[in-house]
């Protein structure tokens, strides 16, 4: 097991709290929107910069560690910026900058109310996300996980109508139940091992529990994280939460919140249970079965959704399970592919949601069947959408191809033909539910959007950037931030290979 | 020459009794003097308690012989970390509620202010006496002082208050009688009323039916005082119909002191092994606590009045403490003691919020709360939100950590029922607190928040309660976050030393 060299540094802490510190400023400048958005952007840029300063260390295999205080007897509130944490933090904080710009365009263009609450909650959510990324142990993880639940609740109920409040209740019911299971599971692990630290290769060992005990524990923790990760049958809050404003769907319900869930799944598999225990008790098979079923079913349901955001939500559900599936393969390629999919799906799906939001604000259309000819009015937006759609399908040269390639290699490595079949079938289904949007936009003729130009540059620029990023990440996976190396480093640390 | 700091043991006890006397001397038109006496004396005793806690933690327990008479003839005060900790909790909460209470009492019961403060101080003194005394019969005396003062406080309320106070009186007297009967049994068997003596004699004598009966009677009597399920019937009415400040004083501390007696009796006076093994008393306590947790939460969901909801929530929260005691293990005790502190702060904060709402709105009916409430009183509702999150038990607020230790204790004994109850009750807490939060933060008629509602909101003026009421509310709310983050410090330095050797 390669032991990473650790050094003490407060950077993870500051990267976490910068957006929390911005929250009071955001609240205080509620009457001056430009100043208020300035705080958001400032916090986003500083956060991203701080996360980037952690990159060189991580690439050399060094881990920044910061212990805040002892949070419960024997357990510290510790932040550890290891390769996996930094990987996730780079994506979440980097995309937050783009989403902030996009939010300004969207919220103002859509004349949304309560924008102060919106931007404040968003900032807290990002703090919680970075906290999850950098959590050094399970209790710290739980603390930020619950914080994320609470911070995103105001965003889900944003419009305050009956549908939103119902979605909010559903979200709380799912997420808080999951959180409690996590707490109970963490208590069990602490009772057995005396530690909750995330350790590459896991803290649990064979023989600590009976086979059924180990499965119960696995289910408790898996349900705890799988709710946010949208693994079926725990996914139904996610489509309902699409009542939130589109930037929320884009960053939180395609990247930060849901990826925290699958990030948690990978943490559980690789850093709590460990590959040996996962394999020995058949836990990886359980995970793979749930993930595989989710991928196929969610894609089939997505086919039937006419509301564009809901279609994308089901697509998110399916793609989140790619990541869990990759982890369940328990080999280097599978892990690398799964972790890479966190970043590749992030850029692609955020592009798609940005496009959907631009369409809502600019053309006031939410349904796929109403989009005939829209691509001619908004060529940039629909080109970006096409890139995202191709990426999710797994076509080169878009980064979805990259992660999918490694996932397929991993499944061949593991001899799991069923997994390979699921991945290939899902690619076809992706094409079936995403390409009609592009087709209608560009090739169905209608003059309903005559005279409508592109949406505001606040929206078009970010979505173009994310689309371009999707291509760049495929062609040069290491040129920006060395994400590919990080992903394989995580896989190596977990599996103990070099 | 004894260390002068040991006099803190009696120094905690004296200010409230003197204060009660002084407060009673003021005529009605100078009732502010009575209020001042209450604040000053509770402040003094709070300071003394904190000093005593520091002393007991650093230097070890203090055994203080009143008047120099040696026990078992004389009365002994015992100020160990456990007692000093409970004193600090009780006095601290009372101090903040007194500061908060002046304008509330002035508005709700102006001409009863003098007896009110006097009775409240007697209650405080009685409770502190229960905590500090090392003598079983002396405990009964203090129990009666605090109970009589408590009945009087509850009776100063609205029209329905005397009836609920009478019910409280009947049940309270039955509880006290059980306790006294139990003490009599123990006295017959051991020949001493000093707790320390009893603790030394019982293992030598071996168990006898009379000792067992004594223990069971004491636990039964104290369980009634503690509102342990199913003996909680008096609590909801007594809390609901008393005046706002009276409830805010009694609710956070009254049941806690009973819990303290339970811990003292079960773990200090008797061998924990005895309580766990000879008769399944610990199990019974734990399961009654678990039942109370669920029942209290369900009843809280059914209430439409905020104050009554909080009263039932107290039944549920007392259940956590009983559950921790019932685990009869270090983690259980840590959870129980920590939850005493946490729940006292949470409940005090929530009842102060309830009082603030009553002051401004004139009612505390949940169905009549709406988002204008929040616009009128943003800070009060912020304190409510923090306290609600803590009640649900979400990190990093204080409420999460007492549950965490209880979870650890439950796993240790592989008690899955307790685990399930802790999980389920947190979810029930979510239901009844978010019901309120939804109402005060969101538009509640099913329509989207639009321009019209924005104009409506802009027309609502902010009318937060005065600073003397707002400050204690916010202070308690903020301390929930501090207590949450500092819980490891409290557990390691203050609660660990309390754990008796037998556990």
Q: What is the DSSP string of B162-227?
A: HHHHHHHHHHHHHHHHHHHHHHHHHHHHHS--BHHHHHHHHHHH---HHHHHHHHHHHHHHHHHHT
What token pair was written down for A123? 């900032």
Tallying the residues shown for chain A, one arrives at 498
Query: Which residues in chain A have Cβ-Cβ distances shorter than 8 Å to B405?
Result: 72-73
Task: Give tens-digit pLDDT for A194-221.
Answer: 888 888 888 888 777 888 888 889 888 9
Q: For A141, name the nearest residue in chain B, comparing CA atoms only.
A: B395
pLDDT tier for residue B73 given thresholds of 50, 70 and 90: confident
Taking CB atoms and an 8 Å cut-off, how many pairs form between chains A and B? Answer: 98
Beta pairing partners, B78: B63
Number of domains, chain B: 1
Average pLDDT over residues B424-430: 91
Please state which of the ranges A7-16, A27-36, A307-316, A474-483 shows the lowest mean pLDDT. A474-483
What token pair was written down for B81? 């970390």
Average pLDDT over residues A411-429: 88
Q: How far is B426 from chain A (nearest CA, A)?
A: 8
Greater confidence (A187 vs B450) lies with: A187
Task: Give tens-digit pLDDT for A223-256.
Answer: 989 888 888 888 888 888 887 788 887 777 778 8
Residue A487 has pLDDT above 50, yes or no: yes
How far lies A237's CA from each of A166, A261, B359, B378, in Å?
10, 13, 39, 30
Q: Do A181 and B401 touch (CB under 8 A)?
A: no
**Cis peptide bond upstream of B390, omega within 30:** no
Please state which of the ranges A91-105, A388-402, A478-492 shows the lowest mean pLDDT. A478-492
Residue B195 has pLDDT above 70, yes or no: yes
- Mean pLDDT, chain A, as a whole number? 85
B150 and B123 Cβ atoms separated by less than 8 Å = yes
Residue B341's domain spans which residues? 326-503
Tokens 């300071």 correspond to what residue? B47
Residue A73 forms contact with B (CB below 8 Å): yes
Q: For A187, name the nearest residue in chain B, comparing CA atoms only.
A: B408
Q: How many CA atoms lie within 13 A of A285 on its CB side?
A: 7
In the three-class reduction of DSSP (H, G, I as helix; E, B as strand; rest coil), residue B14 is classed as helix
pLDDT at B209: 83
Residue A209 forms contact with B (CB below 8 Å): no
Q: For B443, name the nearest residue in chain A, comparing CA atoms only.
A: A160
A438 and A385 Cβ atoms separated by less than 8 Å = yes
pLDDT tier for residue A72 given thresholds of 50, 70 and 90: confident
Task: Give tens-digit pLDDT for B202-260.
Answer: 888 777 888 888 888 999 999 988 888 888 888 888 888 888 888 888 888 888 899 99
pLDDT at A4: 66
B457 assigned to some structural domain: yes
B47 assigned to some structural domain: no
Instruction: Please state, in angstroms and rounded to a whole number, the distance separating the CA atoms of residues A430 and A302.
Output: 9
Please report which residue ranges of B26-68 form alpha helices under DSSP H: 31-59
Query: Which residues in chain A have Cβ-Cβ distances shorter than 8 Å to B334?
Result: 73
Q: How far is B41 from chain A (nearest CA, A)?
A: 35
Q: What is the CA radius of gyration of chain A?
A: 21
Residue B438 forms contact with A (CB below 8 Å): yes
pLDDT at A1: 39
A76 and A137 Cβ atoms separated by less than 8 Å = yes
Q: How far is B490 from chain A (nearest CA, A)?
A: 9
Nearest to B434 among A71, A160, A172 (CB): A172
B394 assigned to some structural domain: yes
What token pair was written down for A420? 């390979």
Angle at B326 between CA B320 and CA B329, to 5 degrees: 105
Tokens 């510190």 correspond to what residue? A21
Instruction: Please state, in angstroms and rounded to a whole number, the distance separating the CA atoms of residues A67 and A50.
Output: 17
In the three-class reduction of DSSP (H, G, I as helix; E, B as strand; rest coil), residue B158 is classed as coil
pLDDT tier for residue A497 given thresholds of 50, 70 and 90: low
Residue A169 forms contact with B (CB below 8 Å): yes
Please state which of the ranges B21-30, B312-321, B353-362, B454-463 shows the lowest mean pLDDT. B454-463
SS3 string, chain A, reads CCCCEEEECCHHHHHHHHHHHHHHHHHHCCCCHHHHHHHHHHHHHHHHHHHHHHHHHHHCCEEEEEEEEEEECCEEEEEEECHHHHHHHHHHHHHHHHHHHHHHHHHHHCCCCCHHHHHHHHHHHHHHHHHHHHECEHHHHHHHHHHHHHHHHHHHCCCCCHHHHHHHHHHHHHHHHHHHHHHHHHHHHHHHHCCCECCCCCCCCCCCCCHHHHHHHHHHHHHHHHCCCCCCCCCCHHHHHHHCCHHHHHHHHHHHHHHHHHHHHHHHHHHHHHHHHHHHCCHHHHHHHHHHHHHHHHHHHHHCCCEHHHHHHHHHHHHHHHHHHHHHCCCHHHHHHHHHHHHHHHHHHHHHHHHHHHHHHHHCCCEHHHCCCHHHHCHHHHHHHHHHHHHHHCCCCCHHHHHHHHHHHHHHHCCCHHHHHHHHHHHHHHHHHHHHHHHHHHHCCCCCCCCCCCCCHHHHHHHHHHHHHHHHHHHCCCCCCCHHHHHHHHHHHHHCCC
Residue B331 forms contact with A (CB below 8 Å): no
Residue A69's domain spans which residues? 5-495
Average pLDDT over residues A443-460: 78
Average pLDDT over residues A260-273: 89
Report which listed range, A305-309, A365-369, A390-394, B38-42, is most confident.
B38-42
Instruction: Please state, in angstroms and rounded to a whole number, the distance separating the CA atoms of residues A355 and A149.
Output: 26
Average pLDDT over residues A465-469: 87
Q: Which of residues 362-401 of B touch A (CB under 8 A)?
A: 389, 392, 394-396, 400-401
Task: Give tens-digit pLDDT for A274-294.
Answer: 888 888 888 888 888 999 999
Beta pairing partners, B185: none
B315 assigned to some structural domain: no
For an interface test with A, which of B335, B400, B416 has the most A Cβ atoms less than 10 Å from its Cβ? B400
A189 and A129 Cβ atoms separated by less than 8 Å = no
What token pair was written down for B403? 């549950």
B350 assigned to some structural domain: yes
B146 assigned to some structural domain: no
User: In angstroms, how far apart are the furthest CA atoms of chain B?
Assistant: 79
Residue B1 has pLDDT above 70, yes or no: no
Task: Give tens-digit pLDDT for A30-42.
Answer: 888 888 888 888 8
Count other C-beta atoms under 10 Å from residue A497's C-beta.
12
Nearest of A300, A449, A296, A435 to residue A372 by alpha carbon: A449
Tokens 């004349």 correspond to what residue? A111
B43 assigned to some structural domain: no
Q: Give, rounded to a whole angstrom, the gap between the first and last alpha carbons of chain B.
A: 35
pLDDT tier for residue A3 given thresholds of 50, 70 and 90: low
The DSSP bridge pattern shows strands A62-72 and A75-81 to be antiparallel
Nearest of B249, B340, A479 to residue B238 by alpha carbon: B249
Please state which of the ranges A276-280, A295-299, B24-28, B285-289 shows the lowest mean pLDDT. A276-280
In the three-class reduction of DSSP (H, G, I as helix; E, B as strand; rest coil), residue B271 is classed as coil
B455 assigned to some structural domain: yes
Query: Which residues in chain B have Cβ-Cβ distances shorter than 8 Å to A69?
Result: 485, 488
Q: What percent of chain B has pLDDT over 90?
A: 37
């Amino acid at each position: 097991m390669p032991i990473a060299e650790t050094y003490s540094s407060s950077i993870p802490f500051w990267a976490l709290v910068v957006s929390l510190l911005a929250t009071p400023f955001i609240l205080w400048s509620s009457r001056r929107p430009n100043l208020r958005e300035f705080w958001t952007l400032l916090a986003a840029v500083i956060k991203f910069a701080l996360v980037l300063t952690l990159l060189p260390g991580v690439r050399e295999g060094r881990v920044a560690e910061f212990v805040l205080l002892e949070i419960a007897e024997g357990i510290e509130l510790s932040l550890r910026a290891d390769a996996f944490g930094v990987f996730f933090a780079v994506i979440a904080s980097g995309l937050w900058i783009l989403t902030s710009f996009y939010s300004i365009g969207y919220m103002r263009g859509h004349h949304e109310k309560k924008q102060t609450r919106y931007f404040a909650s968003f900032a807290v959510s990002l703090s919680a996300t970075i906290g999850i990324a950098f959590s050094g142990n399970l209790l710290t993880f739980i603390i930020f996980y619950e914080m994320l639940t609470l911070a995103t609740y105001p965003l889900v109920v944003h419009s305050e109508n009956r549908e939103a409040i119902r979605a909010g209740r559903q979200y709380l019911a799912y997420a808080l139940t999951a959180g409690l299971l996590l707490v109970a599971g963490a208590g069990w692990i602490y009772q057995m091992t005396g530690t909750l630290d995330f350790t590459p290769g896991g803290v649990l060992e064979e023989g600590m529990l009976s086979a059924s005990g180990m499965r119960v524990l696995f289910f408790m923790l898996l349900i705890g994280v799988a709710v946010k990760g949208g693994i079926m049958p725990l996914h139904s809050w996610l489509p309902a939460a699409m009542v939130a404003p589109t930037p929320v769907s884009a960053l939180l319900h395609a990247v930060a919140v849901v990826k925290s869930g699958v990030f948690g799944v990978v943490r559980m598999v690789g850093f709590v249970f460990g590959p040996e225990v996962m394999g020995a008790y058949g836990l990886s098979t359980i995970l793979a079965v749930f993930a595989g079923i989710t991928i196929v079913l969610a894609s089939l349901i997505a086919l039937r959704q006419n509301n564009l955001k809901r279609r994308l939500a089901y697509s998110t559900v399916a793609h989140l399970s790619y990541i869990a599936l990759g982890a369940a393969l328990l080999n280097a390629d599978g892990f690398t592919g799964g972790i890479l999919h966190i970043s590749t799906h992030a850029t692609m799906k955020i592009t798609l949601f940005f496009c959907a939001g631009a369409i809502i604000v600019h053309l006031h259309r939410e349904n796929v069947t109403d989009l005939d000819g829209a691509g001619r009015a908004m060529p940039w937006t629909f080109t970006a959408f096409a890139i995202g759609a191709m990426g999710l399908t797994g076509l080169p040269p878009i980064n979805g191809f990259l992660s999918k390639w490694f996932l397929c290699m991993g499944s061949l490595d593991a001899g799991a033909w069923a997994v390979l079949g699921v991945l290939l079938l899902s690619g076809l289904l992706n094409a079936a539910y995403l390409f009609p949007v592009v087709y209608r936009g560009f090739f169905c003729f209608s003059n309903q959007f005559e005279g409508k130009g592109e949406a505001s540059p606040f929206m078009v620029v970010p979505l173009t950037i994310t689309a371009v990023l999707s291509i760049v990440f495929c062609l040069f996976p290491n040129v920006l931030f060395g994400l590919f190396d990080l992903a394989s480093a995580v896989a190596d640390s977990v599996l103990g290979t070099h | 020459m004894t260390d002068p700091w040991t006099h803190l043991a009696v120094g905690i006890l004296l200010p409230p009794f003197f204060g009660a006397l002084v407060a009673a001397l003021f005529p009605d038109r100078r009732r502010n003097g009575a209020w001042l006496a209450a604040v000053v004396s509770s402040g003094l005793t709070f300071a003394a308690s904190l000093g005593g806690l520091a002393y007991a933690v650093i230097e070890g327990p203090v055994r203080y012989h009143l008047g120099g008479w040696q026990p078992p003839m004389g009365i002994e005060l015992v100020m160990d970390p456990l007692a000093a900790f409970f004193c600090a909790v009780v006095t601290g909460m009372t101090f903040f509620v007194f500061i908060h209470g002046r304008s509330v009492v002035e508005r709700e019961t102006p001409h009863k202010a003098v007896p009110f403060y006097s009775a409240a101080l007697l209650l405080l003194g009685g409770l502190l006496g229960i905590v500090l005394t090392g003598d079983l019969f002396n405990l009964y005396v203090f129990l009666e002082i605090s109970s009589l003062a408590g009945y009087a406080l509850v009776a100063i309320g609205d029209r329905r208050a005397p009836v609920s106070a009478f019910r409280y009186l009947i049940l309270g007297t039955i509880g006290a009688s059980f306790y006294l009967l139990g003490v009599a049994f123990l006295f017959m068997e051991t020949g001493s009323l000093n707790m320390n003596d009893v603790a030394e004699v019982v293992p030598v004598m071996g168990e006898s039916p009379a000792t067992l009966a004594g223990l069971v009677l004491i636990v039964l009597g104290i369980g009634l005082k503690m509102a342990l399920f199913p003996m909680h019937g008096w609590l909801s009415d007594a809390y609901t119909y008393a005046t706002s400040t009276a409830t805010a004083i009694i609710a956070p501390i009254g049941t806690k002191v009973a819990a303290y007696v339970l811990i003292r009796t079960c773990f200090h006076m008797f061998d924990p092994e005895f309580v766990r093994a000879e008769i399944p008393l610990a199990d019974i306590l734990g399961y009654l606590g678990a039942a109370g947790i669920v029942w209290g939460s369900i009843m809280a969901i059914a209430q439409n009045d905020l104050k009554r909801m909080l009263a039932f929530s107290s039944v549920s929260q007392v259940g956590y403490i009983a559950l921790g005691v019932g685990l009869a293990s270090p983690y259980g005790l840590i959870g129980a003691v920590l939850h005493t502190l946490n729940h006292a702060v949470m409940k005090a904060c929530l009842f102060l919020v309830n009082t603030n709402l009553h002051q401004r709105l004139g009612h505390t009916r949940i169905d009549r709360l709406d988002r204008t409430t929040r616009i009128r009183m943003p800070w009060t509702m912020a304190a409510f939100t923090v306290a609600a999150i803590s009640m649900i038990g979400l990190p990093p607020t204080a409420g999460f950590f007492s549950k965490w230790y209880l979870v650890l204790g439950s796993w240790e004994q592989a008690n899955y029922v307790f685990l399930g109850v802790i999980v389920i009750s947190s979810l029930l807490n979510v239901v009844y607190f978010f019901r309120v939060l939804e109402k005060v933060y969101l538009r509640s008629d099913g329509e989207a928040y639009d321009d019209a509602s924005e104009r409506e909101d802009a027309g609502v003026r902010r009318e937060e309660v005065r600073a003397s009421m707002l400050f204690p509310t916010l202070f308690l709310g903020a301390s929930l976050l501090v207590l949450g983050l500092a819980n490891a410090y409290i557990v390691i330095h203050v609660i660990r030393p309390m754990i008796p050797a037998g556990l």
